[in-house]
Amino acid sequence: MSTPDLNLLITLDVLLTEGSVARAAQRLQLSPSAMSRALARLRQATGDPLLVRAGRGLVPTPRALELRQRIGPLVADAQAALRPAETIDLGRLQRTFTLRSRDGFVENFGPALVNRLRAEAPGVQVHFVPKLDRDSQPLREASVDLETAVIDADTSPELRTRALFRDRFIGVVRSGHPLSQGPVSLEAYVAGQHILAAPQGQHHGRMDEALEALGLERQIVTLVSGFSAVLALARGSDLIAMVPERHTSNLRAGLHGFSLPLPLPEMTISLLWHPRMEADPAHRWLRQCVHELCSDAAATLPDGQQR
């Protein structure tokens, strides 16, 4: 059995990324004919046409789409392994990073991160942008450098991840609300009126699914797009909010938090990035900064703290 030409992995990665023989040839500094021959070898090796003609362009086959999810990380790992270790001069580093997250993250962790960046790398800027959906395309396109999320089945397998902290949902009401006077029963919780944070407009959340399994239903009277709006409404009304405890710690000042009478599974907030940034020294430094700050902040907030 002949040994496969592993150089074809790089060629395949570029072909599937570019979706064009001409652009792939230009990127790899090959002639179009040489790239066409390489594509023919790839087709023979994989037993699949990989890219087929559709109008004036080429489209990937199902096999090519499957390979694209696997080849990118393999190539990135190989390149990282063969790249000399680099050090960076943080004092002279000039760069802007974009971090995408749900509301509450900036309010809790943003000040400490900005202060650390100013102290260690004054030429670095961080651009915080809101996370309105779970689409990982911004990470692929490099319009976003880092993102926070809860990893689930919808998370793209090509992304790299690192756990930041554990979190749980709690109930929140205004100070003086009837539910702030002691332990909250399931009956009292369901009898109240609720706010739902629904960034994508869904009308049911995790709590509604848990209640439905018990044959119960809560009354949701308003939907909002994020946790900041949820807490603002709870602060000025008798509505009941449900938010992640650690994620919204600083947003809940003056409000009463309580353990949910029907606890939901804890979740892990993770940091996500694209494999192309795995070995970048400046990106690696920023990832470490975010991880240390989030881990330290989470460790200093006792479970069940009420604000």
Q: What is the CATH number of the domain that holds 32?
A: 1.10.10.10
The number of domains in the chain is 3
- Residues of the domain holding 121: 95-167+268-299
pTM: 0.66
Looking at per-residue pLDDT, the higher value among 137 and 121 belongs to: 121
Percent of the residues in the chain that have a pLDDT greater than 70, as a whole number: 93
Q: What is the DSSP letter of 196?
A: E
pLDDT band at residue 302 under the 50/70/90 scheme: very low
pLDDT band at residue 201 under the 50/70/90 scheme: low
Among 34-48, 223-237, 255-269, name the one with the lowest average pLDDT: 34-48
CATH number at residue 127: 3.40.190.10
In this predicted structure, the answer to whether residue 280 has a pLDDT above a threshold of 70 is yes
Structure tokens at 251: 């947003």
Among 49-58, 138-147, 170-179, 196-205, name the one with the lowest average pLDDT: 196-205
Residues 273 and 226 reside in one and the same domain: no
pLDDT band at residue 135 under the 50/70/90 scheme: confident
Contact 117, 258 (CB under 8 A): no
Q: Which helix (H) or strand (E) holds 285?
A: helix 281-299
Mean pLDDT (the chain) is 87
In this predicted structure, the answer to whether residue 304 has a pLDDT above a threshold of 50 is no
Q: Report the 10 Å Cβ neighbour count for 88.
A: 14
Residues 150 and 19 reside in one and the same domain: no
Residues 278 and 160 reside in one and the same domain: yes
Contact 38, 11 (CB under 8 A): yes
Please name the residue that has the structure tokens 């609720």: 194
Q: Give the pLDDT score at 252.
A: 92
